[in-house]
Amino acid sequence: MSKVYERYEDLHVRKTYVYAKANDPYAYADPDKTVKIASDDLRDLFLKGVVIVDGTTEYSPTSYAESSKVGTITYVKADSTTASTAVLTTLKSKEYTAEG
């Protein structure tokens, strides 16, 4: 059985904020959206509790996945055109590079 242990820097931390930037696939560590989060850190945040701030709304993530050393955290947003429809939204770690 694998376990997730808290570390001394986790003492009394309930959740950590991760910030989303409009039209940008990256997860950010700061409200100014200048510091991208590395894959290992994004996974650690997911396991220990994270709140995703997207605009003025806060979300809880539903999943974390890693592929080719790129971490992806997924959360559910309400569709702005159809209130009863949900949209899966993802944020990527700083290792992500857009394929063009």
Residue at 64 is within a domain: yes
pLDDT digits (tens, 9 = 90+) for 60-97: 999 999 999 999 999 998 887 877 788 899 999 999 99
- How many structural domains compose the chain? 1
Q: Report DSSP state, residue 30.
A: S
- What is the pLDDT averaged over residues 7-14? 84
Residue 39 pLDDT exceeds 80 = yes
Is 97 inside any structural domain? no
Judged by DSSP in three states, 13 sits in coil
Of the candidates 90, 89, 13, the one whose C-alpha atom is nearest the C-alpha of residue 45 is 13
Question: How far apart (Å, rounded) are the C-alpha atoms in residues 28 and 92?
Answer: 9
Domain that holds residue 18: 14-92
Q: Is residue 55 part of a domain?
A: yes
When pLDDT is cut at 50, 70 and 90, the band that residue 99 belongs to is: low
What pLDDT, on a 0 to 100 scale, did the predictor assign at position 72?
97
